[in-house]
Amino acid sequence: MKIIRNTEAPTASADESPLQRVETPRYQWKVLIVDDEPDVRTLTRISLRDFSFANQTLEFIEASSAREAKNLLQQNSDIALALIDVVMETDDAGLKLVEYIRNDLKNAMIRLVIRTGQPGLAPERYVIDHYDIDDYKDKTELTAARLYTTVRSALKAYRDLQIIDTNRRGLERVLQATPAIYQLGHSPLSDFFNGMLTQMIGLCRLSTSSHIGSLEGAIMMLDEDEPKLRASTAQFVKSQRFEEIHQQCIHAILRDDDPISSLRNSSEVLPLIVLNQPVGYIYIEPIEILSDVDRNLIHIFARQCSQALENHELHGNILASFDSAIEMLAEIAEYKDQATGGHVNRLDCYTHAIAIEMGIDQEEAIRYGKASRLHDVGKVGIPDYILTKPSKLTVDEFEIIKKHTTLGGNILSHDKAFTLAKQIALGHHEFWDGSGYPLGIKSKDLPLAVRIVSVADVFDAMVSWRPYKEPWSIQEARDAIQDGAGTQFDPDVVNAFLKLLDSGEFELVIARANEALS
């Protein structure tokens, strides 16, 4: 994947497209002049009045004492260069200021040049050896030409250090942001794309050299060849330019060998590639053209976004396949035992609602409900004549039907993804007091999902028609569930269930049981 950029030079013309804009640098190198002689400060400004480096001019900040300089340094953290006199309010005021900058402010970026008119008070070798400075100049030798050279060298060093530091911070941000993007793969797509755009804008605001005051952005996806806006900054999509920008971006990502020529010079269009196919783009529009450092960082991050998007889709496909597998297995079980008439769907509703009532989070409650659908999958191994027998089962027949729990556990034991469903299938007929089947263990030692399904399964069976019985009334079923608390059922699950039942939460679910068999 590559970043597609506007390749035209930023020149204005009378017939320029409304989307184009000439970009002019707004950032200036801040230079602090610290000297108690006004004439020296004035002469410095005059000598450097036409100075420009990296297409950026100078902004002068002046201080007549070290004390005044300290206040200015606290207010301006982005000063690139300080020209510091040694002798001011004290004989070593300038040297003390250097120590303050490096040790107290912990500012290792600013370039420091000592200037002195009294070199005897601050010998050059001693100052260079004992103070973290970048140059030492005698004022008598600082002609306009030498001042130019000194300032240019200092600013170049500052710029290079900034690039290194920005790279470092940028890589740190990429490392921090990438896991966040991948974690969003388990979130709704809206959160996923908003997270992508937020992280991208955060990366673009790293560099002071880009001097970004604001930034617009959007993420568009091609959904069955139809564009769909997935995320954007607040005002951007409301602008009249948006549709034209979108058409240009679509053209660019589908034909990446054809450069964009009508977008703003600062804009960046980053294709999102999934399985080697363009599926959308990220468009960002900073006030000014991004530095190479910023551009490289968003290039790296766009690759990560594409990979995360691919993983998101794969994760969604896996979940969809898992849900399909559950539905197929549940349908097989219910097809085998058609007398239950939608039992698995109702059990899903009961289980989910009880779990929520007991403080289980939504995602886990959904998982409980899905797993409950397979509680009777083992009935595929039970003879039809037993499942559909219109009268009471014999002792031998009941022993056979009890095997549906172990059969279900065996069927679901082949994949770890079905572990919870396996536990439910195997244990939903175990009792709180240990008198259930197949293992006769106390259900308090089983997962909460199993104990919830135990209550929901029995209640639904009571209020539903079966070949061997008529539906019980809701009150009869309620009383039976309440009576079973502490012996057959987990008392806490019973309390949660009864609270929901009495509130009318299950009226529609119960109605479906009667409708399915009417």
The verdict on whether 379 is a catalytic residue reads yes
3 state DSSP class of 56: strand
Q: How far is it, in rounded angstroms, from Cα 104 to Cα 107?
A: 8
Sheet holding 226-232, edge to edge: 4-5, 268-274, 277-286, 215-223, 226-232
The two tokens of residue 264 are 């703003």
Beta strands in 142-250 (DSSP E): 215-223, 226-232
Q: How far is it, in rounded angstroms, from Cα 411 to Cα 404?
A: 10
Q: How far is it, in rounded angstroms, from Cα 106 to Cα 444?
A: 60
The candidate with the shortest Cα–Cα distance to 345, out of 128, 136, 155, 511, is 511
Q: Each residue of 191-224: b (16+ CB within 10 Å) or e?
A: ebbbbbbbbbbebbbbbbbbbbeebbbbbbbbee
Q: How far is it, in rounded angstroms, from Cα 439 to Cα 442?
A: 9
DSSP 265: T
The candidate with the shortest Cα–Cα distance to 37, out of 152, 150, 142, is 142
State CA 200 to chain mean position distance.
11
Is the separation of the CB atoms in 232 and 282 below 8 Å?
no
Which phi and psi angles does 437 have, rounded to 5°?
A: -140, 160
Q: How far is CA 461 from CA 339, 382, 490, 494, in A?
A: 11, 18, 18, 16
Is the separation of the CB atoms in 352 and 368 below 8 Å?
yes
Query: Which position among 379, 403, 442, 499 bears the catalytic label?
Result: 379
Q: How far is CA 360 from CA 118, 288, 351, 352, 363, in A?
A: 77, 49, 11, 9, 8
Is the separation of the CB atoms in 307 and 196 below 8 Å?
no
Q: How far is it, in rounded angstroms, from Cα 437 to Cα 427?
A: 8
User: Which residue numbers are catalytic?
Assistant: 379
